[in-house]
Chain A
Amino acid sequence: GQQLNQSPQSMFIQEGEDVSMNCTSSSIFNTWLWYKQDPGEGPVLLIALYKAGELTSNGRLTAQFGITRKDSFLNISASIPSDVGIYFCAGQGAPGYSSASKIIFGSGTRLSIRP
């Protein structure tokens, strides 16, 4: 089945630093989604991407849908303490899946503040 590899698994940031993380797939995706999960909460959608090459921003967050349709990237500029949490990528497969069918989640990138 389809799998997503998300990296890095964890990272420590200093306030003000830029952050990059990525997700790669073993097969083509039609939709890429990026979620953030705060402790004790459910994931919240940050950015949705629908087209190869698409670059979309949401405040200090920017995400890109890779040209090959097998990867996506999320960048956070000038990080602040409230950026701490777990970031998940998710993808929805190529035609053949039903419209309400399976979105595959990566294993997450845990962002922490460097002491």
Chain B
Amino acid sequence: NAGVTQTPKFQVLKTGQSMTLQCAQDMNHNSMYWYRQDPGMGLRLIYYSASEGTTDKGEVPNGYNVSRLNKREFSLRLESAAPSQTSVYFCASSPAPGQGSDTQYFGPGTRLTVL
């Protein structure tokens, strides 16, 4: 099992450009999450998907959209990138409720720079 995979690993954008960060998990987990991590700060939740077909806003959703394409895949889209979105983005997944749903497994991250 690969666990949680993310693509790309690195990306540089110009202000105003758009892009989609991809995430996939092969652990048959119900829930998936997108976080951003900025220097000296913990992880802040952008969006999450409790189950296939549902998405909800987290702490810092502005400037982002998400799609839960199927149970395996959860993508994060930046429609018009801004320098404030320069960060490391982590995708995570967790099992169904009652099966250790609070235990999240993280991908390796995508390092995004917006010029």
Contacts and interface: CB of A to CB of B under 8 A. Distances in A.
B29 to A, nearest CB: 10
B50 A98 contact: yes
Interface string A83-110: 0000010001000001111110111100
Q: How large is the interface on B (under 10, 10 to 19, 20 to 34, 35 or more residues)?
A: 20 to 34
A60 B103 CA distance: 21
Nearest to A89: B42
B30 A100 contact: yes
Nearest to A31: B102
B106 interface: yes
Given A100-B49, A101-B56, A107-B40, 13 more contacts: A31-B102, A42-B4, A42-B108, A42-B109, A43-B90, A45-B104, A48-B102, A88-B42, A99-B101, A100-B31, A102-B45, A105-B35, A105-B44
